[in-house]
Structure 1
């Protein structure tokens, strides 16, 4: 009888709550870094289009405008991992405060030089520090979620939430920058970007209670800081995210060229909006699911879907099928991004996670910059829409790497240590 009562009570017991967005946003202290973090990351999506519109207005050349934007993007991609590494080593505030100050001064200098019709080399000289000093707020927010949630099932939800936030940023930012540059003055976009970076970055840096702790180190010991790139799984993820960057870059160029070739250039924004909407929708859904499949398998399946969908883009000969394929590609990107960021939590020691996140962010930016260049050449030399071959090639190469090295995505044993100073040891993954 006792066992019967127990069974009945178990049947009436409430099911465990699923890790949803409501539960995530009720995490103690979350809003204290989410709101300033959203303001501080908004300029990230405004920078490229603001530079293009300003430099094109002052020089009359899209080539010069694209070159200045490319210098900025490459500088950002190369410096982002070192910014993350410094944040892990010395604290986010120690990197953010000087970073936003340098970025503000550099962006305003670039604006002044462009308005003064300075030579292109001078614009490049200002573009380098402008890109190098872009604050890596997205990775820093993800690192703060890791502190708050530890090994909670909500980590996947947090990764999805951040993916949706990133996508929203890349929808709102360019629209805001374009409106300012066209309705106010061509310099308004870059000036606003600098102001938002300064105010949002300083407010975010001020939330010291939520930032990851810096590991105490002896003042007399030489400290060897282990890079997140030493973790084999992170290197696999970097290649994976380069492929994702090729999709973003290839889509931007190829959609514009395709709509121009069919005589409907106004459809460019609509088609890219469909692509972005697919990303946002799948990101929201992905974060609301209580997954039972391992992250490694989710990444393999999701990335295979992304490669398959990207491989079909070049076959579209009209706007409607291209919109459908773009929606499908967008829906495949978010699960891959979310799962990749989730894997970092298991693969990388807490003291190197901000750096790991910035390696992935930088890989997307670098893949995007390379894809824009190659896709542009294909569009000029072949046919309208030939640039869609770039996302296909990028994702297929990344998928092949992922399949060959998938074993490296398994979480390493936590009892391995590396000496970081006299009497100080910390877990770390090794080759």
Structure 2
């Protein structure tokens, strides 16, 4: 996969631009909690940031599909660095909550969607290749590595250097990494502008499979947000605030380890079933977090939760290739990223209030409730995750069977399936997979 022409040219600056994403929320939480003395207030500011990002990320993705990554990314990273600097200054000056929340809007709205842009580059260069699931797993590992390094780095800076050091570093890395990534124009996906012949650009949200994945990814975001707040509160309760970064790093490390394993496995079951199994495991693991009464036990449970997240994330991102056409793919990836941010925003708000009122154990109930709701949605709407069959079949007597096999062909392209069968009545061979 790494020998793909041009891959390293966008992977390295892409990683530099994504590392700050793992620092943003935890840096806001620690700074605002330090200046206001309240996890609830910190959760509100972090939630506003997340909601703003969730709402503006798809817009950024749509503009990226139409105008190109470089044209969108340069002004975005400049805006983000300015907005985060303003938020930091207001917090240090003791601004009221409403002012901090207002400043959090542009800080969240301008978060550069580098992860979806990297995934779009992989999808464009590996379309139809059996290496695409490996690339999806690699990207999940990269994301989770940022969530291993990011929170630990932000916590160390905020607790060991200055409460604002985390946000200042986040803004600087975003600016530098984003500009370097935008400069790699040779590997950008093709721009899909509106056609002059009257053809309209379809919104990624118009595809029902993506809408189901959005609900599922909100649940994953709630796990991230609930864990961030609850682990920080738990660390303070045991008198060791610095343990927060380590505990969250163990949680994210579990996700990274599982991502590596997922990339190496030749799966025998279809993506929909894998997605549901992943959420079953995630819900079960989240159901015991509230009972942990020691850092060692909580670290072990957090590791298990992390191990269960990666299969769901990787499978969801991989399914985008078969559910959404290339012209709307960056937008689709940003919808999923925005869904994670939205779930994270809601979780930090609710978990912040619960921990302020009742302690960290109640904050851990947020990931449980969110993943249970996501699992119920997947079970009820799993049929929406089947890709549409192509319309090139003209033999009406064989149409139902052909449609089933065409769905298998699309899933097989995404999953790298190798089994082939003869299609009766059509005289050609198509790949199939069993979900």
- Equivalent position of 1:164 in the other structure: 141
Deviation by residue 1:283-308 (Cα, 9 ceiling, x = unmatched) = 11111112232112211222211122
Distance, in Å, in 2 between the alignment partners of 1:296 and 1:137 is 26
Selected match of 2:14 from 30, 34, 37: 37
1:195 to 2:143 alignment: no
The runs of 5 or more residues in structure 2 that have no matched partner are: 393-435
SS at match of 2:268: coil
Q: Residue deviations 1:340-382, cap 9 Å, x none?
A: 0000111110111111111111111111121222223333444
**Shift of residue 208 of structure 1?**
1.4
In the aligned structure 1, how far is the partner of 2:304 from the partner of 2:155? 27
Aligned to 2:329: 353
Q: Give the superposition deviation at 1:255.
A: 3.1
Q: Which runs of 5+ in 1 are unaligned?
A: 1-23, 417-431
Task: Report the equivalent of 1:284.
Answer: 260
Query: Which residue of the partner structure matches residue 150 of structure 2?
Result: 173
**Cα pair distance change 1:182/1:310, threshold 3 Å:** closer
In the alignment, which of 60, 74, 80 is matched to residue 57 of structure 2? 80
User: Aligned pair 1:137/2:114, yes or no?
Assistant: yes
Q: Which residue does the alignment assign to 1:125?
A: 102
**In the aligned structure 2, how far is the partner of 1:245 from the partner of 1:304?**
16
- Residue 222 of structure 1 deviates from its aligned partner by 5.7
Aligned-pair CA distance for 1:136: 0.4
Q: How do residues 173-322 of structure 1 correspond to structure 2 at under 5 angstroms? A: 173-215=150-192, 217-218=194-195, 224-261=200-237, 267-322=243-298
Q: How many residues align?
A: 393
C-alpha distance 125-270 of structure 1, shift in aligned 2 (>3 A): closer
Deviations 1:373-396 (A, max 9, x none): 222333344464122222222111
| Alignment partner of 1:399 out of 367, 370, 375 | 375
Look up the SS of the partner of 1:172 in the other structure.
helix
Q: Structure 1 length as normaliser, TM-score? A: 0.84
Q: Paired residue for 2:366?
A: 390
The structural deviation recorded for 1:117 is 4.0
List aligned pairs for 1:84-95, cutoff 5 A: 84-95=61-72
1:103 and 2:83 aligned: no
Determine if contact 1:160/1:338 at 8 Å carries over to the other structure.
yes
132-141 or 191-200, which moves further after superposition?
A: 191-200
Aligned to 1:70: 47
Does the 8 A contact of 1:257 with 1:385 survive in 2?
A: no
Contact 1:255 1:385 in 2 (8 A): no
Alignment RMSD, CA only? 2.5
Residue 409 of structure 1 and its aligned partner are, at CA, apart by: 1.0
What do residues 305-349 of structure 1 show as CA deviations (whole Å, max 9, x unaligned)? 112222233344444443333222111100110000000111110
Check if 1:146 corresponds to 2:146: no
Q: 1:324 to 1:47 in 2, by over 3 A?
A: closer
Equivalent residue in structure 1 for 2:314, among 338, 341, 363 = 338
Tell me what 1:414 maps to: 390
* 1:166 to 1:269, Cα distance in 2 relative to 1, 3 A: same
Q: CA deviation at 1:129?
A: 1.0
1:200-243 residue CA offsets vs partner (Å, 9 max, x unmatched): 11111111121110135445x66632111111111111111111
Q: CA deviation at 1:101?
A: 1.7
TM-score relative to the length of structure 2 = 0.83
- Work out the CA distance in 2 between the residues paired with 1:328 and 1:185: 32
